[in-house]
Amino acid sequence: MKNPKSQQLTIYNTLTGQKERFEPLNPPYVGMYVCGPTVYNDVHLGNCRTFISFDVVFRYLQHLGYKVRYVRNITDAGHLENDADEGEDKIAKKARLEQLEPMEVVQRYTVGFHRIMERFNVLPPSIEPTATGHIVEQIQLIRKILDKGLAYEVNGSIYFDVKKYMESEPYGELSGRNVDELIAGTRELEGQSEKRSPLDFALWKKASPTHIMRWESPWGEGFPGWHLECSAMSTKYLGEQFDIHGGGMDLKFPHHECEIAQCKAANNKKPVRYWMHANMLTLNGKRMSKSTGNTLLPQEIFSGQNAFLSKPYSSAVVRFFILQAHYRSPLDISDEALQASEKGFRRLMEAKETLSHLKAGTVSDWDVQSAMARVYEAMNDDFNTPVAIAELFEIVRYINLMKAGEQHLCEKDLTELKDFFHRMVEDVLGLKDEQRSMLDTARLDAVIQVLIDMRQKARQDRNYALADQIRDQLLKAGIQLKDTKEGTTYTLL
């Protein structure tokens, strides 16, 4: 471990309702699973908030020296329109409406999702399994549950028997749902479906003749249940028990509750040690959601093309805005809040630039070690990014005082601060100065243009040796010149 503070990382575990010291099952390895998007539509900023939150968890665990296997799936089948196992498959519906193959829908929105994640500087997970790529594993898992007598078949569909399961295990622990109330709330549905109880949920659904996405199974042609997919994919890559499972808090019930029940039924083990749930991003005080249309899309923010916004905002500013709230707190997006984040972000980036040019003094006259420790304390306190950012701004204040010559750091402290600041801002929080990289590109462009002009002049002077030398040396540096009728252009190899 790089920092002694890492020993004290605590995580709020939804299952126990408490902050707990993080102790991985097999240190230094950490297994983490996060429910990925259902790729039937463009991701909205709410979805992005959850993935950015877990990106920081992934980055910070790595920063602490853990070897993290991060699995984030793609749901490309089986997610029905409502939680009661009824309605159309979300992807099949989109395919029907747009007259596309379901896999065309999946491909389009998976590619779009990856692009947006890259824009937000979200690292790719270690494994990104798809539900349709794991049908065999899902059938095996259903078989195990059937063998335990905790699921039953009706007319080609398999349902999980919640009441039977509850004879030996609690159900509703994660979401804190009272099962008696759940039963009371669904009583009127009793007898209306082929399920023995409205509490039961589908592990496998028989495909109706018109259902497009269908697979062969021991129970006839059908498709897997959404909850089952995540259980099969998480345990395949992370084992029957793993460290962290995350997702948005809207997934606690029924999705994650069902995941726990399925895994316990199959393997007699609690699958997950730490359940983490990210709170919702709201727009006009209401949850951002694809289904209700109350959304703001990343593209709309980057282009400023939305009546809600006064101007465009960069992805780094939006990422910063998201990290200024704790992942377990609700966050409402507004133009004013984004403007404030933009100012804060610029101040942070300017301080980073200033710091890189600062020269050391002979002694340190402020306590940089404690200042850095406070940032770690915040991160170790259940990834408290808003407090960590506030502590970074305290350091920014000193950076500006050092620039004015009013404070100093000795060589050793200054070197440590430069390294720390870079790692915390860029590697852990994932905040990169886009203006700076745009500036770098513009500078590179100008430098190459000077060389192109010099080569042109050398040719006019019949100094072909020099002209070739410029071309060859640029090529060695990975810059290829191309002579066209319109002039010379370049490509970066």
Ligand X SMILES: Nc1ncnc2c1ncn2[C@@H]1O[C@H](COP(=O)(O)OP(=O)(O)OP(=O)(O)O)[C@@H](O)[C@H]1O
Which member of 22, 49, 355, 399 binds ligand X (CB under 6 A)? 49
Q: What are phi and psi of 74, to 5 degrees?
A: -115, 120
- Torsion sign across C-alpha atoms 308, 313, 317, 322: positive
Q: How many residues bind ligand X (CB under 6 A)?
A: 19
Is residue 238 involved in binding Zn ion (CB under 5 A)? no
List the interface residues with Zn ion, window 152-191 (CB under 5 A).
none
Q: Which range in 282-290, 384-392, 428-436, 439-447 contacts ligand X by CB under 6 A?
A: 282-290
Is 290 assigned to a binding site?
yes
> Quick one: 50 or 121, whose CB is closer to Zn ion?
50
Is residue 151 involved in binding ligand X (CB under 6 A)? no
Using a 10 angstrom Cβ sphere, with 0-12 exposed, 13-18 middle and 19 or more buried, the burial of residue 286 is exposed
> Quick one: 190 or 240, whose CB is closer to Zn ion?
240
Which member of 24, 78, 247, 430 binds ligand X (CB under 6 A)? 247
Nearest distance in Å: CB 369, ligand X: 36
Is residue 272 involved in binding Zn ion (CB under 5 A)? no
Place of tokens 């209700």: 292
Q: What are phi and psi of 355, to 5 degrees?
A: -60, -40
User: Using CA atoms, how far apart are residues 298 and 359, in angstroms rounded to an integer?
Assistant: 40
User: Using CA atoms, how far apart are residues 110 and 38, in angstroms rounded to an integer?
Assistant: 9
Nearest distance in Å: CB 281, ligand X: 4
Contact 410, 418 (CB under 8 A): no
Nearest distance in Å: CB 316, ligand X: 19
> Quick one: 15 or 35, whose CB is closer to Zn ion?
35
Tell me the per-residue interface mask from 11 to 50 with Zn ion, x by CB under 5 A, - otherwise.
------------------------x---------------
Contact 345, 316 (CB under 8 A): yes
Is residue 287 involved in binding ligand X (CB under 6 A)? yes
Contact 233, 136 (CB under 8 A): no
- Among 174, 212, 147, smallest CA distance to 16 is for 174
> Quick one: 222 or 248, whose CB is closer to ligand X?
248
DSSP string, 53-114: HHHHHHHHHHHTT-EEEEEE-BB-S--BSSTTS-S-BHHHHHHHHHT--HHHHHHHHHHHHH
Which member of 222, 248, 254, 430 binds ligand X (CB under 6 A)? 248
Where does this chain bind ligand X (CB under 6 A)? Answer: 35, 37-38, 46-47, 49-50, 247-248, 250-251, 278, 280-281, 287-291
Residues belonging to the binding site are: 35, 230, 255, 259, 290
